[in-house]
């Protein structure tokens, strides 16, 4: 297993470097496509074309739009690289603060949570690694996640509900799971994708806001104004497609890494039953209220579907089965008292999750139709 984990570490390091190299190219590709689409929309609007009068073959020359996009990219590629670099530098130094603000996490000291702090510290000493910052989210949800890019910024965040509901060995297994994400460097890989996905998403939201503003205040202006609206629509579509593409890249990273982290936790604690019991107690109770999808994807469990369609994490049942088969350990049975306590709590948590999804959906700038 050690050889497999080491291979995973090398692979994740290589992927991180490749992503850092690929994202500027992706951004330049999005800029080129947006410039070409915007130019074509401008020519379309200036030429007086409309969906009612346009006939096949009578529209603007696509070659002109491509030439403008090529010229724009040739002239401004240093600016694009500089913007990407500045964005990464800002994110590198302040991403921890951003994540804590999004998740409502607060750092804790040994004096505040001595047992939890000692559990994490002992695991780090055993692995010969620098202890990450320990954070707590004051919520009844049961979840945890690791974040950070290097030893200076690595952090493990757990919820109050997780601390209060798990036994010592179960909590140790969850902490070991999150430390494995740090050791495997897949947390760094996920953070890189979050940083650049946020960049494209920010640009898409700006474009969408401009479009809504333009549609609201356009009034009865002429075709030139209509051409401007077409430009914003064309650029917005390209940005949105680019944003979805980067989301899918991040989604592809988040599924396999949970199996690796479960295996690493078992190797670290030598307690597969503790890991399985922890997952059983987390199932159905993992939803952290008022957190965005970026945080959900980082968590040990996430029941919120990606884009409303795809699961970002493997099912808890599959993870428990894999641990059981890998270690030849029978799946433990929770005490009847624990089952009776879990059932109504799971139902309440699912109702809260549906409510939170509705609130987040209403706050999504892509889904709002107008300003308040």
User: Among 246, 346, 263, 342, which Cα is nearest to 297's?
Assistant: 246
Buried-exposed string 64-75: b where 16+ CB fall within 10 A, e elsewhere: ebeebbeebbee
Instruction: Region of 11 please: left (phi>0), alpha (psi -120 to 50) or beta.
Output: alpha
* Catalytic residue flag (residue 273): no
Residue in 115, 121, 172, 178 annotated catalytic: 178
- Cα–Cα distance list, 344 to 55, 115, 139, 237 (Å): 61, 29, 17, 44
> 155-159 and 105-107: which strand pairing?
unpaired
Beta strands in the chain (DSSP E): 105-107, 133-137, 144-147, 155-159
d(CA 193, CA 189): 7
Q: Which positions are catalytic?
A: 178
């Amino acid at each position: 297993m050690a050889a497999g984990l080491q291979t995973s570490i090398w692979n994740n390091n290589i992927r991180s470097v490749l992503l850092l190299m690929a994202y500027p190219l992706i951004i330049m590709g999005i800029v080129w496509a947006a410039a070409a689409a915007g130019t074509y929309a401008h020519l379309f609007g200036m030429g007086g074309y409309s969906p009612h009068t346009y006939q096949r073959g009578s529209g603007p020359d696509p070659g002109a739009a491509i030439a403008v996009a090529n010229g724009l990219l040739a002239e401004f590629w240093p600016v694009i690289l500089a913007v990407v670099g500045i964005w990464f530098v800002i994110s590198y130094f302040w991403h921890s603060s951003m994540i804590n603000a999004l998740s409502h996490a607060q750092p804790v000291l040994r004096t505040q949570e001595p047992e939890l702090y000692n559990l994490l510290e002992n695991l780090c000493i055993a692995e010969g690694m620098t202890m990450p910052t320990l954070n707590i989210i004051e919520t009844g949800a049961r979840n945890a996640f690791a974040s950070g890019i290097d030893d200076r910024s690595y952090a493990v965040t757990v919820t109050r509900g997780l601390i209060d509901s798990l036994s010592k060995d179960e909590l140790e297994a969850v902490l070991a799971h999150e430390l494995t994400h740090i050791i495997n460097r897949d947390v760094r890989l996920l953070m890189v994708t979050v940083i650049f996905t946020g960049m494209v998403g920010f640009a898409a939201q700006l474009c969408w806001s401009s479009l809504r503003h333009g549609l609201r205040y356009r009034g009865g202006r002429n075709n030139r104004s209509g051409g401007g609206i077409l430009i914003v629509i064309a650029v917005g579509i390209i940005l949105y497609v680019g944003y979805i593409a980067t989301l899918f890249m991040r989604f592809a990273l988040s599924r396999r890494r949970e199996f690796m982290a479960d295996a690493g936790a078992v190797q670290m604690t030598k307690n597969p039953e503790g890991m399985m019991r922890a997952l059983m107690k987390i199932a159905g109770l993992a939803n952290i209220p008022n957190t965005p999808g970026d945080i959900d994807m980082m968590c040990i469990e996430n029941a919120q579907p990606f884009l409303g369609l795809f699961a970002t994490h493997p099912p808890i049942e599959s993870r428990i089965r894999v641990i059981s088969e890998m270690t030849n350990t029978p799946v433990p049975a929770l005490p009847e008292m624990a089952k009776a306590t879990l059932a109504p709590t799971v139902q309440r948590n699912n109702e809260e999750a549906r409510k939170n999804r509705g609130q987040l959906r209403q706050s999504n700038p892509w889904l709002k139709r107008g300003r308040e």
